[in-house]
Amino acid sequence: MSAQEIVRSIAYLAWSEARAGLTSVRLIAIASIFGFPTVLLAYALGGSSLGGGTGTFPVWKLGPDGALLALAFGFAPILLPAVPLGLAYDVAKRDARSAYPEMLFTRSVPRWSAALGRILGLVATCSVLILIVAGASVAALSSAAGAAPSAGLVAAFLGSTLVLGAQYVVAGMLFLMVLKPSQLAWISFPLWVYNQAARPLDLVIAGQFLQILPILGPVTFVPAWSDLATFTGMAMGVIAPFAPPSGGLVAPPSVVDLGGSVAFTAVSLAGPIVVGFLVLLYLAAVSRMPLGR
């Protein structure tokens, strides 16, 4: 098996997986059910930003940038995980019907490469769907606000949603190594709840709750590290460097607050690094683990 054959196989399997996902009625339905409310919320936030604000709370009163921050930090992490989790469920249902993994992982290419092709295709599928929803949300917000958020913040928002989606979809595929489709549906909910609840709970435990709730001061050392505990926190970390200081959400790097600066940088990089780690874990699991029980 040559390197060329492996690369060709990975490229084809990624394309094939993406085609199967993007033509799945079930998946499109799930993405629509959770995508439309996201777009509507974005439109509402854009409209309510028109009043203008003097303080830092509520954040959406700070114009289009503030409205996008509210969407990115408040609503997108709640609604968008449905897309990657729905994708993993859709894959599980298709696999159960066709015995596709048995065929795929017994081909002449090494299993890790077949798994890589598959996971790349799934991440691409998830990314396309999330970009459509997130892009439409930005467009709706801009339309309602009468102005677009800053380009850097929009790019960071789209990047964060992609990181969030990739984390969930790879985690879903890892769960499917040991779970049945119906069990995945049940485990998805606690996973989602954990990612929504762990971060604020961690902030409470860290004694920072009162500082954060009214968004009066910068997020510093302890809460920044607490972001590493959840997919949501890590996705927010992607946006942090692009958030306007007036949002009061992040602390800029500072030699005075070295701990806060390290935490700030770590959280910003953590999301993509964790995606890479989860992908490697998936490849190792498919290569080394049996596919049946």
Partner 1 sequence: MTAAVIRVRGISKRFGPAGAMALDNVTFDVAPGESFGFLGADGSGKTTLFRILAGLLPPTAGRASLAEMDVTESRGFLGAVQGYAPQSAQMPLNRTVADVLGSWARANGLSVLVRRRRVSELLSSLDLDARADVRVVDCTAYEQRRLALAVALLTDPPILLLDEPMAGLSPADLLAFSKHFGHLKDAGKTVVLSAPKLASLQPVCDRILTLAEGRATRPYETLKLLEVVGEARHARVFVEVDGNAAGAAGVLRSVSGVLEVGDTGAAILLFVRPGMFVEQVALAALEEAGIRVRSLKSAEIVLNDIVRTLVRREAT
Applying CB under 8 A, the residues found at the interface with partner 1 are 1-2, 4-9, 12-13, 16, 97-99, 102-112, 114, 117, 286-288, 290-293
- Residue among 34 and 112 whose Cβ is closer to partner 1: 112
* Cα-Cα-Cα-Cα dihedral sign, residues 170, 136, 252, 77: negative
Q: How far is the CB of 84 from partner 1 (least distance, A)?
A: 24
Buried/exposed 160-196: b ≥16 CB within 10 Å, e otherwise: bbbbbbbbbbbbbbbbbeebebeebbebbeebbeebb
Is 106 or 254 the residue whose CB approaches partner 1 more closely?
Answer: 106
Report the residue number, 19 or 186, with the smaller CB distance to partner 1.
19
Work out the angle between the directed axes of helices 82-98 and 111-145 (0-180°, nearest 10). 140
In angstroms, give the least distance from the CB of 4 to partner 1: 7
- CB count within 10 Å of CB 29 equals 11
Name the minimum Å distance from CB 273 to partner 1: 25
What's the min distance (Å) between Cβ of 283 and partner 1?
Answer: 9
Cβ distance to partner 1 smaller for residue 25 or 255 = 25
Rounded Cα distance between 138 and 83, Å, is 18
- Residues with Cβ within 8 Å of 137's Cβ and at least 6 positions away in sequence, in order, are 38, 39, 41, 42, 71, 76
Amino acid at 226: S
Looking at this protein, which amino acid is placed at residue 194? Y
For partner 1, the closer CB: 114 or 278 = 114
Least separation in angstroms between CB 20 and partner 1: 9
